[in-house]
Amino acid sequence: MPVKHLDRAKSRLRGAAPGGAAGHRDLVLAVVRDTVAAAVAAVRAVLVVCEDARVVEALRGSGAECVDQPGLPGLNAALAFGADRLRARDPASVVGALQADLPALVPAQLRAAVAEAAGRRAFTPDRPGTGTVLLLSAAGGGLDPRFGPGSAAAHGADAIAVGLGSAALRCDVDTAADLAVAAALGLGAHTARRVRAAGRVG
Ligand SMILES: Nc1nc2c(ncn2[C@@H]2O[C@H](COP(=O)(O)OP(=O)(O)OP(=O)(O)O)[C@@H](O)[C@H]2O)c(=O)[nH]1
Ligand SMILES: C[C@H](OP(=O)(O)O)C(=O)O
């Protein structure tokens, strides 16, 4: 799971929580914590590639391992680094990239998507269908992440689509409107607390 430096993360979500920069940071951290909690409950190991000691601190005790993003900047470089690290530990396994902005995620939907992939290269498009929330390698294969604008089409070129009926898995929150959709699905505990404290969504 990739997490950007908190000073830059989720810029399109700015203003969804009151309290200026601190309120935004707390909302982003809450979303990350809920997404990590669901992932930890669903898969064998979760590695978070991040750029910020505050993320490491917030995830202490979560069951996820955190590593600093070394070398090249950018999302795909972070994911390739994490995937190589996991692959070195287990040459035959499936490795995956899961976006860290899925506050309604429930473990069963992630587990089901992995099961549906059944060891084949696979991806789950986001709610609008243009982006990607989950990318899975083939068993023993490379991750070859192609995140960025139009990533669903890029991944769909050689990966099968899975989890299409899983609304919570597909609900990444880029904007306040996305957060309202996630709230209707049911937010994880940390995000729900932030949203309640804010007294509103969006
Ligand atoms: N480690 C790392 N994570 C990244 C990087 N860029 C994006 N991410 C993470 O990748 C996921 C998907 O990114 P986006 O949905 O575009 O989120 P974002 O870049 O924080 O949001 P915007 O500022 O609104 O574009 C989020 O979990 C981000 O925190 C990066 O350069 N390094
Ligand atoms: C990185 C990008 O995420 P978005 O910014 O569309 O949520 C993607 O889905 O490839």
Could you tell me the strand order of the sheet in which 2-3 lies? 2-3, 47-50, 65-68
Confidence of residue 202 (pLDDT cuts 50, 70, 90): very low
Q: What is the ipTM of this complex?
A: 0.96
Give the tens place of pLDDT for each residue, 152-190: 999 999 999 999 999 999 999 999 999 999 999 999 999
Rounded to the nearest whole angstrom, what is the distance from the C-alpha of residue 132 to the centroid of ligand 2? 6
pLDDT of 17: 84
pLDDT of 74: 92
Class of domain 2-198: alpha beta
3-state SS of 36-103 is: HHHHHHHCCCCEEEECCHHHHHHCCCCCCEEEECCCCCCHHHHHHHHHHHHHHHCCCCCCEEECCCCC
Q: Is the CB of 123 under 6 A from ligand 2?
A: no
What is the rounded CA–CA span in Å between residue 103 and residue 121? Answer: 25
pLDDT of 201: 53
Ligand nearest to the CA of residue 131, numbered in listed order: 2
Q: What is the mean pLDDT of residues 113-122?
A: 98
Atom of ligand 2 nearest to the CA of 150: 10
Q: Do the beta carbons of residue 127 and residue 118 sit within 8 Å?
A: no
Q: Is the CB of 4 under 6 A from ligand 1?
A: yes
